[in-house]
Amino acid sequence: MNSWDTALLELDDTTLVRIARERRLVLDDGRGPKWVDLCWVDEVALVLIDMANTRREDLTIVYPAPAGQVAVLLAAQLLLRQFVEGNSSSSVGIVTADTSMAARTWNGLRIATTGDRPPIASVFPCHRAGPEGESPGGGRRLQGVIVGQACRGWNVEHLIVDRLAGPVRLDTMQASIEVVADPTDPLLRRAEEAGRAIWGWSEADLAGSPAVEERASHTVPFSVASDRLKTLVGGVDVRLEIARHRQAEAAISRAREDLRLLRSMSPRGASRNLERGLSVAWHHLTTLASLPCRPSLFDSFAGLPPIAARATSTFAAELTAWATTLDEERAEIASILASDIADLRAALELGNPFEEMVRRVFDSRTEGLVVTRTRTAAKALLQSLDYPPTGDLAGSLTVRHIGGLHRQGTWSRAVVVGEPSPWDWHRLLSGLAPAVDVFTLGEDSAKGCAQLVEATRSARDHWGSTEVRDRTWRAIVHIPPPPDAANGSHRLRGSVVLADGAEYVRQPDPFDPLSSLFDLDPLDVGGEGPTRGLARESGLGDWSASMAAIEVVTDRGRLFLEVGRPVDVRDGLRIEERGPELLEPGAVLLIGRRQGRVGLIEALEERLGHRPDLIAARFLLDDYQRQVRSRWAECGLTLTALHRALVDLGCEKSMQAVRSWVTEGTMAPQHFDDLERLNAALGLGLSDVRLQELFAGVKRRRGFRRASGRALAAAARDSTVVANDDRIDDETGLTVADLREAVVEATVLSVVPCDHLVPMTLLGTLEDT
């Protein structure tokens, strides 16, 4: 460790550090208790927050790598310190996007004593805040820890803000400890301008460390694993290998210029439709430019996010349809952009140089990690190497998507296929491997990558610089810094070279004009791409980007809903689907709290990683309903004739029930026999296997909706009680607190049909009135 960190640890032997060193800090994650191993970065952070709390100073800690549940660790330190000093009624707040994991981790922490391992939660219980940041205790102070994804003036002695797991909302001026992993996060610059104390570790500081402790046996790391730190100590070298493809490079250059031109023609925030379209277009461009194989092979694994990435064959048609929603001048450029995207796909279909480059790494038989942009790309890469796409191994190589890197250890070599997103670079440079090779398509892309590596490292160096540390030291420690801190010598950090060995010279950022595109609806880090498209393809192959819609004003804001496309409405304990045209004032719509998306499953997609069956069922049922409505319109049967045909096949349902199957958006018939009869009467042509899959999806979704309806009704009746309900429901796999945090209920005030078609980008999203 450098002299700064060494001096801090000599100043204070904090409670939790001492407990962990004595191997008495235990984490029971449901798979048995394990001793917790704290790295020296954790120990320094604990000393800093202890001192900051004593001085009532704000502090932001910039971790050198994505660091797990560090906020829980810091909260435990603050409460245990108070407990040792005789205050067992202390309180701490944790603001984090992953409230469920934070609560589970807190309840799993234990302190080993002679013959026992009592949980910390037995003295300091965990409370869940309300979905809008309301304190579960109202204005009174609660003993223990409050966990929430938003904070609205909690009555706590200490506040910890975890920005590692995602965005959070703060409505308070109280002193806080913040934890950040991305050194390029704009929040850090704003914090520095506001005079906030900041502590980070530069690459030079990490490289100058003489040694890092080894991970103790039979322990689990709480944040940054020891092997990651050892790799950072040795330095991370980045090699940018340029793939040459003249036609593809030319198409990429033209598409980027189209995007810049469209961005310059509209002031920031002036048109949600334009910005949403540009954001999706940027995604389509970067997806194609980072494919590890031919587009057609990738498309064979495609689907709909979040299950799978969109098929690249739809990109150009979708953008062409979106262009029709713009004014004449912008529409022309958007059409050209769609054409350039089509040219890029066609060029890569003739041959993708990344295939040969990955094959070369595979043939070398050296052990390493191959990183792709999405899970879909990982499956396609495994298939191209003649390995099962259901696994993750291809000979001596392990294939992972970039969203799962924080759960990986250290590899001897990492290969990244395609240009990473700007927000992913700190993940790649956080000790994943001592040598990171990035395959980029064209020299412009390589230079852009080099600049982002330089920007990430420069930001780390800044937050760990002598100037920043000296200011923080004097504000928190209140004594002069160690005498040799300002003059410490460090080794050079890892290198950045292009494949031809040319030295990189910093140039203006060529992508800066596009940086605002991700403010409106940022793409999920490591996700499969935008969950909402710009246009929709009909069963006949036509694309539409504008739909007949109804404007609905609620007590939470305004939204446009597509005519004939049902939405989820809670009626007492039941959740039912209802067409927007049938909505009346007083109806309760279910809307996602974070992204404002209409629908129960849509609102819960982020939290349903453990239930992929529900996400798959939604897509399956959506496709089925489109087929039913389209086929009924094509066959020309009247409702009476269809009902008679079903009765002849043995159906006993009323005409009103049959109407709901084909017009009003009911998921599907509740009985399998009726599903078979409707398939036969309309001539849908669904196989027996497809009908069985569809019916299984119907049952899963109905069971989930019943359980969710009961939980949401209980939450509406008594929000104070359910805020602390962390019991996991067997049917949903979620707690009541999870549901309340993910779903907001909006009461309809008025419903007015729109006299014009509405762009698809504006449908189904709640906006302020």
Write down the mean pLDDT value for the chain: 83
Confidence of residue 183 (pLDDT cuts 50, 70, 90): very high
Other beta carbons within 10 Å of 24: 15
Confidence (pLDDT) at 585: 94
Q: Which of 20-34, 140-154, 587-601, 732-746 has the highest mean pLDDT?
A: 140-154
Share of the chain above pLDDT 70, in %: 86
Give the CA radius of gyration of the chain.
28
**Is the pLDDT confidence value at 709 over 90?**
no
β pairing state of 574-578 and 567-571: antiparallel
Strand, coil or helix: what is 552? Answer: strand
**Is the pLDDT confidence value at 222 over 80?**
no
**Is the pLDDT confidence value at 518 over 90?**
no
**Is the pLDDT confidence value at 51 over 90?**
no
* Distance from C-alpha of 186 to C-alpha of 512, rounded to nearest angstrom: 14
561 compared with 507, residue with greater pLDDT:
561
722 compared with 308, residue with greater pLDDT:
308
Confidence (pLDDT) at 480: 81
483 compared with 370, residue with greater pLDDT:
370
Confidence (pLDDT) at 570: 86
β pairing state of 758-759 and 546-547: antiparallel
Confidence (pLDDT) at 479: 81
The DSSP line for 610-648 is T-HHHHHHHHHHHHHHHHHHHHHHHH---HHHHHHHHHH
**Is the pLDDT confidence value at 311 over 90?**
yes
Domains along the sequence of the chain with CATH? 3-206+214-232 (3.40.50), 236-452+494-506+532-538 (no CATH), 545-762 (no CATH)
Confidence (pLDDT) at 293: 95
Confidence (pLDDT) at 717: 58
Confidence of residue 208 (pLDDT cuts 50, 70, 90): low
Share of the chain above pLDDT 90, in %: 32
Q: Give the range among 156-165, 298-307, 419-428, 430-439 with minimum mean pLDDT.
A: 298-307
32 compared with 392, residue with greater pLDDT:
392
- Locate the DSSP E strands across 447-566: 496-498, 536-537, 543-544, 546-547, 549-554, 557-562
**Is the pLDDT confidence value at 769 over 80?**
no
Confidence (pLDDT) at 516: 57
Q: Which of 1-5, 224-228, 555-559 has the highest mean pLDDT?
A: 555-559
Confidence of residue 487 (pLDDT cuts 50, 70, 90): very low
614 compared with 761, residue with greater pLDDT:
761
Other beta carbons within 10 Å of 268: 12
Confidence of residue 525 (pLDDT cuts 50, 70, 90): very low
Confidence of residue 196 (pLDDT cuts 50, 70, 90): very high
Q: Which of 425-434, 621-630, 666-675 has the highest mean pLDDT?
A: 425-434
* Distance from C-alpha of 670 to C-alpha of 32, rounded to nearest angstrom: 42
Q: Which of 33-47, 309-323, 529-543, 664-678 has the highest mean pLDDT?
A: 309-323
Report whether 536 contacts 752 (CB < 8 A).
no
First to last CA, the chain: 54
What is the DSSP code (8-state) at residue 765? B
Q: Which of 373, 397, 372, 401 is nearest to 387 (CA)?
A: 397
Q: Which of 628, 680, 742 is nearest to 148 (CA)?
A: 742
Contacts of 522 (CB under 8 A, 6+ apart): none
Confidence (pLDDT) at 82: 81
Confidence of residue 730 (pLDDT cuts 50, 70, 90): low
Q: How far is CA 610 from CA 614, 615, 712, 735, in A?
A: 9, 10, 20, 13
Q: What is the mean predicted confidence (pLDDT) over 510-526?
A: 49
Q: Which of 471-480, 698-707, 748-757 has the highest mean pLDDT?
A: 748-757
CA 33 to chain centre: 29
What is the DSSP code (8-state) at residue 741? H
Confidence (pLDDT) at 502: 40
Confidence of residue 727 (pLDDT cuts 50, 70, 90): low
Q: What is the mean predicted confidence (pLDDT) over 499-527?
A: 48
Confidence (pLDDT) at 720: 40
Residue type, 154: W
Confidence (pLDDT) at 722: 39
Strand, coil or helix: what is 448? Answer: helix
Confidence (pLDDT) at 219: 63
Phi, psi angles (nearest 5°) of residue 399: -105, 125
Q: Which of 101, 86, 88, 91 is nearest to 162 (CA)?
A: 101
**Is the pLDDT confidence value at 76 over 60?**
yes
Confidence (pLDDT) at 661: 82
**Is the pLDDT confidence value at 620 over 80?**
no
**Is the pLDDT confidence value at 550 over 90?**
yes
Confidence of residue 215 (pLDDT cuts 50, 70, 90): low
CA 474 to chain centre: 37
* Distance from C-alpha of 559 to C-alpha of 413, rounded to nearest angstrom: 49
**Is the pLDDT confidence value at 490 over 70?**
no
Residue 696 burial by CB count (10 A; 0-12/13-18/19+): exposed, middle or buried? middle
Contacts of 272 (CB under 8 A, 6+ apart): 520, 761, 762
Q: What is the mean predicted confidence (pLDDT) over 315-334?
A: 94
Q: Which residue has the tokens 């940086």?
A: 515
**Is the pLDDT confidence value at 724 over 70?**
no
Report whether 215 contacts 410 (CB < 8 A).
no
Confidence (pLDDT) at 169: 86
Confidence (pLDDT) at 494: 66
Tokens of 300: 């064979």
* Distance from C-alpha of 280 to C-alpha of 215, rounded to nearest angstrom: 43
Q: What is the mean predicted confidence (pLDDT) over 108-113?
A: 86
Q: According to DSSP H, which parts of 351-442 are helical?
A: 353-363, 375-384, 425-428
Q: pLDDT tens-digit profile of 237-271?
A: 999 999 999 999 999 999 999 998 998 887 777 78
Residue type, 688: D
The DSSP line for 272-331 is HHHHHHHHHHHHHHHHHTT-SS-HHHHHTT--STTTSPPPGGGHHHHHHHHHTTS-HHHH
Q: According to DSSP H, which parts of 389-502 are helical?
A: 425-428, 443-463, 466-476
* Distance from C-alpha of 175 to C-alpha of 92, rounded to nearest angstrom: 12
Residues in the chain: 769
Q: Give the range among 14-28, 44-58, 373-387, 609-623 with minimum mean pLDDT.
A: 609-623
